[in-house]
Structure 1
Amino acid sequence: MKKCSVLLSLLLLLALCFSLASCAGGGNVFALLSVRLKGNGDGTVTAVARNEFALSPAALPVRLTLYVGAEAGDVSEMRVAGCAQTDDLGLFAALEVSVSVEEPAYYCAEIVYIVHGEEEILQGGTVRYDASGTRVAAMG
């Protein structure tokens, strides 16, 4: 009986999510995006933007930027190391950009996406990688 009530609750929650996503002529976007850094241990660092979950038929344009700097700080004080973009980061899709590590430095990844004509920004934490692309310290 408990399994049935849990299943019914999940179905009702799913129905609610679909109804909310279809409001306003289907123009709404409900998506869970993530941005991560990974050191590959081969002298490279990769930034990954991923659409973890979405309830929307609308396209989701995304630009992924990987920043590097000698000090941890605001990305405006760092330089762009690499950039990638797509007109639609579909459900479970990923966008990646990899760069070679020239020397130990701080890296930060940021995604910029458009929802209802407005630019939204999601920034990952700043991480220090050594010259081999191995994580040394996370700054937040």
Structure 2
Amino acid sequence: MRNVRCGFSLIELLVAMAVLGILAAICYPSYQQYVLRAYRAEATAQLLQLAAAQEQYLADYGVYTDDFSVLGGAALSLSERYEFQILLSEANLAFEITAEAAGLQRSDSNCLFYSVNQFGQRNVQYPHSLTCWD
């Protein structure tokens, strides 16, 4: 009678685990970059929404504001990966909204800062990172 074995040998199992480990080592960094780009897109969209809300506030009250709650900042669900700040001129007739990477987003070293002003100009103080808006 012939001895029939069912199942996998230890060597076959180790080879399969090695192949999975290599695939994970290749795919994980790409996945991390994808996640960073997704949060980058979220931050730029929020900056543009805040700038539009500033223009609406200017139309209603004649000046800009630095209060996120008035601009609907709570509804925008400001991310924990970026710190947003509104800088106003002395007469509140000009603004610059900035977003600086925080927490895990700091590993996105090419795109740490974003800004938009009342003219719609992007990254005036950080021209090296204009490509981050794409």
- Higher relative CO (CA 8 A, sep ≥ 6), structure 1 or 2? 1
Normalized per residue, the structure richer in strand is 1
Shorter-chain TM-score bucket reads 0.3 to 0.5
Normalized per residue, the structure richer in helix is 2
TM-score normalised according to structure 2 size? 0.34
User: Which structure has the greater CA radius of gyration?
Assistant: 2
